Chain A
Amino acid sequence: MPHTLSRFDNELNELHQLINTMFKITRKNIKQSLASIFDVDVEMAKRVIERDDVVNTLELRIDELARTLIIQFQPAASDLRTVFSATKIVTDLERMSDLATKLAQNALEMDGFIPRKSTSVPIMREILLTQVKNTRKAFINNDVLLAKKVIEQDKLLDDSYENCQRVLLTRMAEDPASISHSIALTNIAKVIERIGDHAVNIAEMIIYASSSHEVRHLSIEELNDVLDDEDE
Chain B
Amino acid sequence: MTTTDNARDGVPISTPLPQAPELRSFPDPYDLETPAGAEGWEEMYAYHNRFLESRRAEDSAKTWFRNSLHYPEVSYPFDQVTIDGAFTGTGVTNTRIFALPPAKGLDVRVINGYTYMSAIPSPDQEEQARRAVEFSKRAGYYFQNWDALYGEWETRVTVAIRGVHDLEVPPLSEFEPIERVLEDRGPSQGNQLLASYHRLLEYIDQIWTLHSEFLNLGYTAYLQFLTLCKEHFPEIDDQTISRMVSGVDVLLFRPDDELRALARKAEELGVGDIVRAASTEADLNSGLGETDAGREWLAALEESKDPWFYFSYGSGMYHSHRSWIDDLSLPIQAIGDYIARLRTGDELSRPIKKLQTERDELVAHYRSLLDDEDVSAFDEALGLSRTVFPYVENHNFYVEHWFLTNFWNKAREFSRLLQKWGFWDDVEDIFFLRRAEVEEAIVDLQMAWAAGGKAQGGHYWPGIIARRKEIYSTLTEWSPPPALGPVPDEINEPLTIMLWGITPETVERWLAAQNGDSSNNTLTGFAGSPGIAEGPARVVLRPDQLDTVQEGEILVAPVTSPSWTPVFGRIRGAVSDIGGIMCHAAIVSREYGLPAVVGTGFGTSTIKTGQMIRVDGNAGTVTILDGI
A in complex with B: no
Q: Which A residues contact B (CB, under 8 angstroms)?
A: none
Q: Which B residues contact A (CB, under 8 angstroms)?
A: none
